[in-house]
Amino acid sequence: MAHGLSAAGIGITGSILTSCGALRTHHQATVEARRERVAIVGAGVAGLAAASALRAVGFDDVVVLEARDRIGGRIWTSNIGGHPIDLGASWIHGVDGNPIAGIAADNDIQILPTDYDNASTYFHGGDAANRSRDHVVTGFWSFARQHPRESLHALYDRYVNASNLADEDRQYLAYVLNTAIEHEFAADIGDLSLSSISGGEDWPGHDALLPGGYSQITEFLASGLDIRTGQAVTRIDYQGTEVVLTSAGGDRVDAATVVVTVPLGVLKEGVIEFVPDLPATKHRAIDSLGMGVLNKTCLQFDEVFWPEDVELIGHIGTKPGRWAETVNLFVYTRQPILMMFNAGAYGAQIEAMSDAQIKGEALATLADMFGSVAPLRNALITRWQSDPWSYGSYSYVPVGSSWIQHEELAKPIDDRVLFAGEATHEDFPATVHGAYLSGIRAAREVATYLEQRTRPLGKRTSSSRLLEQ
């Protein structure tokens, strides 16, 4: 995932949430502005970042409404046999200057580097894919660069036919496109083009996992906030001077401004009625971005039966796009736990299968590579597509669409209905740090709006400036 944070972003992060434990609240928001109520819909990392940034600069009345009975959203640390396991985000993508790595460092949250080159890949039947086939992959990308707007699937078909690739090379290329592209963007290569996957930025540094769980980050952000769980917002009425939010149970919250951080999938499903309706540009952004699927199958065994020091295990099966990648969590936790991935259409398809069927396919894949498997002790299976508070895993830009749509999704309506969340970040969508930074951006917009609202002459005062430092 892309990261290359702007200097402004780093400054905001440092001043608000990491080095600003000692924020000087007495000279921040104006007295009038900080009395105003700010409603935030969603207690994922974007909503929590916005709320904690606003609290840090003196806004007293920040209410976070969350539909689930837990915070964190797509950051969700569960446990498997008593050991933390992340069912949503796992990695900090690029640790150098990444605000999430900064929060971890400031709070003594352990992170461990991961090395994707420390991998073993097996063909169907268990033969190691040890001959270098990099030339096949580089050849494909040179071809794709000549047709940047065409679907990668169409290009794959043309490339393998024109180059008359051997079966194993063709299977290897399909495997690389599945694990490196479809898992990354949570969408099939038929829905992606080179230009549709090339709009983001990469953050420098290696990637890292949090062995104690990603929720340590959201727990930190949530501390001291007014978070109301079990509040599924169904209506946001912004016709009057106050914004009125109604929840499924009939509860009502009036606020001066609202930050909507629900996932793109929830916006697509029309779960929230906006009154008046959202502008056409916003609907276009919602429709033209894609909400992808990446699902995890986490398995705890009695003992390790795979190469214990290899971080990634690849499987080039007879059916491309299925059970191709497994993370060996033993490397980081010393527990016999594997995390297997399925993305795109197959990731969505398995959601209709029973747990027993999914476990059966997972174990068959492992047996194909290693001959036999140890007894399975516990399993956790995600179904993000069917999750009514997400309707998918994260956003992507489909073939034919444009990265500009992330910016359109981020635009405020009437200055006081604001949008944050991973899908609103123009450089780092689909990531935790993108969601976090979008929340900080929304907090800045809230501060600016409220200071203008409470000071009619629009003189900018300290809280919005502080959020920009």
State in angstroms the smallest separation of the CB of 204 from ligand FAD: 15
Chain position whose Cβ is nearest to ligand FAD: 44
* Coil, strand or helix at 352: helix
State in angstroms the smallest separation of the CB of 271 from ligand FAD: 5
Using CB under 6 A, which residues numbered 275 to 294 contact ligand FAD? 294
β-bridge pairing 337-343 and 294-301:
antiparallel
Using CB under 6 A, which residues numbered 204 to 263 contact ligand FAD? 231-233, 261-263
Residue 421 interacting with ligand FAD (CB under 6 A): yes
Residue 277 is given by DSSP the state P
Which of 67, 407, 63 lies closest to 258, judged by CA? 63
Which of 86, 4, 13, 66 lies closest to 393, judged by CA? 86
* Beta-carbon count within 10 A of 21 CB: 8
Residue 173 interacting with ligand FAD (CB under 6 A): no
Distance CA(440)–CA(20), nearest Å, equals 14
Which of 172, 90, 96, 166 lies closest to 341, judged by CA? 90
Residue 187 interacting with ligand FAD (CB under 6 A): no
State in angstroms the smallest separation of the CB of 263 from ligand FAD: 4
Residue 340 interacting with ligand FAD (CB under 6 A): no
Rank residues 75 and 329 by Cβ distance to ligand FAD and give the closer one: 75
Residue 165 interacting with ligand FAD (CB under 6 A): no
Residue 9 interacting with ligand FAD (CB under 6 A): no
Residue 41 interacting with ligand FAD (CB under 6 A): yes
Q: What DSSP string runs through 166-226?
A: -HHHHHHHHHHIIIIIIHHHTS-GGG-BTGGG-SS---SS-EEE-TT-THHHHHHHHTT-E
For residue 350, CA distances in Å to 222, 297, 320, 450, 453 come to: 33, 10, 15, 46, 50
Using CB under 6 A, which residues numbered 366 to 395 contact ligand FAD? 382, 384, 389-390, 393-394
Residue 67 interacting with ligand FAD (CB under 6 A): yes
State which of residues 17, 33, 36, 44 lies at the interface with ligand FAD (CB under 6 A). Answer: 44
* Coil, strand or helix at 414: coil
Residue 66 interacting with ligand FAD (CB under 6 A): yes
Residues in touch with ligand FAD (CB under 6 A): 41-47, 65-68, 73-75, 88-91, 93, 231-233, 261-263, 266, 271-272, 294, 296, 382, 384, 389-390, 393-394, 421-422, 430-432, 435
